[in-house]
Structure 1
Amino acid sequence: MSDSVDQARVLATIGVTRGLGDHDLKVHDSNIYIKPFLSCCPEVKVYPLSLFDHGADDVLVLGTDGLWDVLSNQEVAEAVTGFLANCDPDDQHRYTMAAQDLVMRARGMLKDRSWRISGDRLGSGDDISVYLIPLMYGNTQT
């Protein structure tokens, strides 16, 4: 397993999202129960859209672990910023294309029978779903 996969697991045993509700799960070859290390209460942060002015390039990136396991917040932000800066702001497909670009960055290129991303790091072997949600529509009152 790669380090990024180990970091996404609780006590190197189970993926966090798959451990919610598995109350009897123990760390492999031990008597340590996983449940005390998991919570069904998500961390929630509220961002009041209507209090801020947002432009066409201000987006929320919603992605599955296939994206976040291999790309950092900074790498994603730089990729989206660069991509959107090179698109016509009136192009209604720009957010979809930027999301597709992130998927391709996370998957990488096939090189010597493995998927590689920048810096010759392993690409994601997981499912990758990405949505870019423009924030500028939060400025309007309906």
Structure 2
Amino acid sequence: ISAVLLVGAYKTIEEDDLKFPLIYGEGKKARVLATIGVTRGLGDHSLKVHDSNIYIKPFLSCCPEVKVYPLAQCEHGADDVLVLGTDGLWDVLSNQEVAESVGCFLANCDPDDQHRYTMAAQDLIMRARGVLKDRGWRIANDRLGSGDDISVYIIPLMYGNKQN
């Protein structure tokens, strides 16, 4: 006997849904057990499938992964940065594309320009949004640009007042 549960407007959860892969889709369409967006679980301590008593807890944590980086113990240059962005950025640009874009942008800026990190963040936003064409927002290689909200912070890692 197989139990079937109707889940809101998403889909019917069946026994096969509890097998790998647990995450279906990519980018914005990625869903845990084909029901809940991966980032939607942050802070949701119950983590139940919508309108049910099925717990998703074994597959999704409401606690974000936190890593500590010993900033003061490492040497950094003016172009060493942390890029903090929302899914509107990461859904359309890879880590490699972001790193190359920021690296190239900062290399072409005056190192004394106090606005260079803000301008690099604005450049990333423009790259992720793309240009509006007849078929929607498009980025490099005619890929879809982000239709989502995009927030980006570029945080320099150079510790203290050291200058290169």
Matches within 5 A, 1:1-142: 3-7=26-30, 9-20=31-42, 21=44, 23=46, 25-26=48-49, 33-137=55-159
Would the aligned equivalents of 2:75 and 2:158 in 1 still touch at CA under 8 Å?
yes
Going from structure 1 to structure 2, the CA distance change for 1:47 and 1:100 (only over 3 Å counts) comes to same
Indicate the percent of aligned positions where both proteins have the same amino acid: 80
Structure 1 segments of 4+ aligned residues over 3 angstroms from their partners: 30-33
TM-score, normalised relative to structure 1: 0.84
TM-score, normalised relative to structure 2: 0.74
**Larger Rg over CA atoms:** 2
Aligned residues: 137
Would the aligned equivalents of 1:59 and 1:132 in 2 still touch at CA under 8 Å?
yes
1:21-51: CA deviations, max 9, x gaps?
26263279x9854232111232222211111
CA distance in 2, matches of 1:108, 1:80: 16
Farther-moved stretch of structure 1 (112-121 vs 57-66): 112-121
With a CA cutoff of 8 Å and minimum separation of 6, indicate the structure with the bigger relative contact order.
1
Q: Which structure's residues are more often helix, by fraction?
A: 1
Deviation at 1:19, TM superposition (A): 2.4
Amino acid at match of 1:63: G
Would the aligned equivalents of 1:56 and 1:136 in 2 still touch at CA under 8 Å?
yes
Amino acid at match of 1:130: V
Amino acid at match of 2:29: D
Would the aligned equivalents of 1:52 and 1:139 in 2 still touch at CA under 8 Å?
no
**Pairwise CA RMSD:** 2.3
